Amino acid sequence: MPLPDPSFLLARAPVVPVVTVPSVAAGVKLAKALTEGGLPLIEVTLRTPAALEAIAAIAAEVPEAIVGAGTVTRPELIQASIDAGARFLVSPGCPPALAEALAEAPVPVMPGCATATEAMTLHALGFPVLKLFPAESVGGVGLIKSLAGPLPDLRFCPTGGIGPSNVGTYLAQSNILAVGGSWVAPSEAIALGDWEQIVALAKAAAKLSRAAFP
């Protein structure tokens, strides 16, 4: 049976905010600001104690958001994230035990890869869309272009080092469905509660994303 495909989610917004939330309340306000700016997909990284509770609160209080869990690094985080309300999962890398567990998840998954071998291994397990991470450090657009020929069926959501200056170059590639980025939710703006700045950044990212498609 084919694994759940993230493509239909990524079609909603070519930029997926990758966010780290200091508190549940901040997570909800951040989700409201990002969705107001036109970015409904939100990857909440499991890097803070508040992350899972924030996912649950966003799922309950911000219905226009499509919230997912990022930094899924251990099998036990899969069910915990889904129980919290995550509608998709993202990992920075994917050792065998994690890959096997993610392949059993009932929600779309974007497992992380950094090389052609890792991409081929994950594709063989049935994953149709992969996270390239850290994108700029491992070859960026050049690597994505190189993978298009030998792996024509694979699609990517690269993350890491992507921002306003290069997002258009990434989105112009036929094998990229979306990019992940933290520039739309700066930690300084979150700490200050400057939600208007985040709304403005999200609007600019959404506009740039639409314009960037060939």
Q: What is the pLDDT of residues 112-152, one digit of tens each?
A: 999 999 999 999 999 999 999 999 999 999 999 999 999 99
pLDDT of residue 14: 87
Look at residue 41 in the predicted model and tell me its pLDDT.
Answer: 98
Which residues, in sequence order, are CB contacts of 103 under 8 Å at separation 6+?
Answer: 3, 109, 125, 126, 127
**Residues involved in catalysis:** 43, 131
pLDDT value, residue 214: 47
**What local confidence, expressed as pLDDT, does residue 42 receive?**
98
- Tell me the pTM: 0.96
The per-residue pLDDT for 28 is: 98
- List the chain residues with pLDDT less than 70: 209-214
Domain residue spans of the chain:
6-207
CATH class of 6-207: alpha beta
